Amino acid sequence: MAREFTPKVVTANALIEGDVVYLTADDSWTRRLSEAEIITEEDYAQLRLLQAEGQPELVVGAYLADVIAGENGPEPTHFREDFRRTGPSNYNHGKQAELADV
Amino acid sequence: MYNYNEFDTAFVAERNKQFRAQVERRIAGALTEDEFKPLRLMNGLYLQLHAYMLRVAIPYGTLDSAKMRKLADIADRWDKGYGHFTTRQNIQYNWPKLSDVPDMLDALAEVEMHAIQTSGNTIRNVTADHFAGAAADEIADPRPVAELIRQWSTDHPEFQFLPRKFKIAVTGSPNDRAVIKAHDIGIQIVEEAGEIGYRIIVGGGLGRTPMIGKVLRDFVSQEDLLPYLEATVSVWNLLGRRDNKYKARIKITVHEHGIDDIRARVEERFAVIRPSFGGVDLKLFAEIKEAFAAPEYREAPVAEYETAYKHDPIFRSWADTNLAEHRAPGYAIVQISLKAHGATPGDASSEQMRVMADLAEKYGHDQIRISHEQNVILPHVHKSDLPVIHAMLKKHGLATANIGLISDIIACPGMDYCALATARSIPIAQEIATRFDELKLEHEVGDLKIKISGCINACGHHHVGHIGILGLDRAGVENYQITLGGDATENARVGDRTGPGFSADDILPAIERIVYAYLDLRSDAEETFAQTYARVGLDPFKVALYEQDKAYAAE
């Protein structure tokens, strides 16, 4: 039996800055996981991933990451994705600093 | 210090020009990421979790004040004002933008530095004993031969597409501070009947299959060294497992074929290529050696040092812990700890880099070394200058007296930065250092090396730590495995796994139980952790780790 599809977002790193970005429903890239498009259907996920991979001038290394739908949009299910959306734990650098007062 | 000749300068400038054009073509869309990735890796540029990372080579860990200041300037201008010193004696910048990297490389070239062959399946930055040229126990300075190997291996046409990366380390002392037995090739300078030569060790390595290197040949003369190394790498280049990344390193080749078979193949290859080395390498070596001549030591009284040592307990503690024996009378080797309790192991701010550069220039014959243990060394300091150096270091958070102690932890960047990591390393190191500082126990515990890796690739050398910690992902949760009894010295040994791992919350108490068990088990205060472990073995530590835990849980 095929494994049940779990919700995903398309994520990648920005080409110039190298930081983490997520694909939104309106085909733009956001720095905030909460604004990412939650994908609940497998074929559509593959299509969205292909569309992301078709933008090498914007992003690098696109892949599908597991999420669950939370009150404020998608939430990571794995600690790696939690670090990616936050930044390192030893300094207030990365997303946690850059997005703090926006 | 070796200075670039015209060829070196032109070579680096040409490579930088090429890479600048490659970056431009990538940004313009003319190169895909698949095409660009091998090019950026050849120039030390990785893409990590939160950003790009630029790994800059510090050949055999040797810097002068101009180079250190430039590293500080680069950190300020294009990064976040700090750099991370690594177990390959390199420096990594964690936050560069792709479009800035060509400018960073040009800035490095201004002080004869680069990022070439800090990544990819090539011969990587050659490392050496960080006390090179200063150690009291040294037979010969390992840096000239490390530089010779660097020149031979850089852009070597036969070795640009090796089965896997290849790491070489050199020690000039019988007391190995360069972990040569955990390298693809380890070189030990030896002396036989008045002649300096090289013992060649092959097939060591850490990673998922840790191996201690084996002696390939006990004595290789100076004129045979490069052809012998070339024969060795050449044999592996043909024989190495390109079908399986995890079996591609030379340690597996040596393991699968046996050291005798490899030795026979190397000797055969050596006989073929030896005549093609016409002595140019010897001429070059003689020139390089001159560049590493010992500084002119001064003779001066050490009364100031003795007074400070007698009257200032903080200075005394630092001197007892952070100084090493120098070969010249009145001199000391200063080890500057980049392991302030609770700080990130190996990180230095641009301000700290400039302070260390100033001290080296003013008091240290303009010499600086980076150790594989992620600390900074001023190799030649007259003892009379130590009090003022200590005062300056203290002002800038650089006077932590913990070299070789439990808080002097090697930690890889782990999942805070690294795309390959399976768990974090840095916070574990921070917690352990902070805790043992609170307990005021680390001087009582004495020599104890903790090494932490955030994945099986073992950049944090956990296999050869007295206590090794390996961070893994167990069903979506960070989990830390412990090994005990590893040794990174000439008595190299891979540590023994204790059993099931611990969660991020439980790892600190687990380390505490090991340390308290050691304090109970040691025969007296002179017996080090490593000695106690060698005497009593794993079992009593296992009891302390797992059964005490159960006893507490039952209460």
Nearest to B421 by CA among B96, B46, B127: B46
Which residues make beta-bridge pairs with B370? B376
Q: What is the pLDDT of residues A36-69, one digit of tens each?
A: 999 999 999 999 999 999 999 999 999 999 999 9
- Does the distance separating the beta carbons of B47 and A60 come in below 8 Å? yes
pLDDT of residue B553: 61
Cβ-nearest to A20 among B50, B416, B426: B50
Q: Whole-angstrom Cα distance, residue B432 to residue B337?
A: 16
- CB contact under 8 Å between A80 and B32, yes or no, is no
Residues in chain A within 8 Å Cβ distance of B477: 79
Helices (H) and strands (E) in chain A, counts: 3, 5
Across chain B, which has 555 residues, the per-10-residue mean pLDDT values are 93 97 97 95 96 97 98 98 97 98 98 95 95 97 97 94 96 98 98 96 97 98 98 97 96 98 98 94 95 95 97 98 97 98 98 98 98 98 98 98 98 97 98 97 97 97 98 97 98 98 98 98 98 98 86 61
Helix ranges (DSSP H) in B333-425: 350-363, 386-395
Select the residue of A18, A61, A80 nearest B98 (Cβ to Cβ): A18
Locate A53 and state its tokens.
């991979």
pLDDT at A1 over 80: no
Q: In the prediction, which pLDDT does A100 show?
A: 72
Distances B114 to B54, B108, B240 between C-alpha atoms, Å: 10, 6, 29
| pLDDT of amino acid B548 | 72
Sequence-ordered list of residues with C-beta below 8 angstroms from that of B255, at least 6 positions apart, any chain: B203, B209, B211
What was the pLDDT predicted at A102?
46
Q: Where are the alpha helices (DSSP H) in chain A?
A: 42-53, 79-86, 95-98
How many Cβ pairs within 8 Å bridge chains A and B?
Answer: 73
CB contact set of B237 (below 8 Å; sequence gap of 6+): B158, B159, B162, B163
Helix (H) or strand (E) holding A31: none
> Which residue has 């002392």 as its token pair?
B173
- pLDDT at position A39 is 98
- Judged on CB neighbours under 10 Å (0-12, 13-18, 19+), A76 is buried
Which residues does chain A have within 8 Å of residue B83's beta carbon, measured at their own beta carbons?
A: none
Please provide residue A28's backbone torsions phi and psi, each rounded to the nearest 5 degrees: -110, 175
Tell me whether residues A87 and B477 touch, CB distance under 8 A.
no
CB contact under 8 A, A93 and B95: yes
Interface touch B415/A80, C-beta < 8 Å: yes
Instruction: Quote the CA–CA distance of B347 and B369 in Å, as a whole number.
Output: 15
- B430 and B346 in contact (C-beta within 8 Å)? no
For residue B381, the cross-strand partners are: B332
For residues B61 and B275, what is the distance between their CA atoms, to the nearest angstrom? 33
3-state class percentages of chain B: helix first, strand second, coil last, to nearest 5 = 45, 20, 35
Query: B484: which 2 tokens?
Result: 């005990």
Residues in chain A: 102
Name which of B48, B99, B424 is nearest A16 (Cβ-Cβ).
B99
Kindly report the nearest CA distance between residue B229 and chain A, in angstroms. 38
The reply to whether residue A88 touches residue B416, judged by beta carbons under 8 angstroms, is: yes
Distance CA B326, CA B297 (A): 11
This model of the complex carries an ipTM of 0.96
Average pLDDT over chain A, rounded to whole? 94
pLDDT of residue B551: 64
Q: Which residues are within 8 A (CB) of B291 and not within 5 positions of it... i.e. 6 or more apart?
A: B1, B2, B3, B144, B147
List, as one string, the DSSP characters of B43-91: TTEEE-SSSEEEEEP-GGGEE-HHHHHHHHHHHHHHSSSEEEE-TTS-E
Q: What is the dihedral of CA A73, A79, A81, A87, to 10 degrees?
A: 100
CB contact under 8 A, B29 and A17: no
Give the Cα separation of B67 and A90 in Å (integer): 27
Question: What's the pTM?
Answer: 0.96
Give the strand pairing for B214-221 and B195-202: antiparallel
Both tokens of residue B376?
Answer: 């900074």
The one-character DSSP state at B166 is B
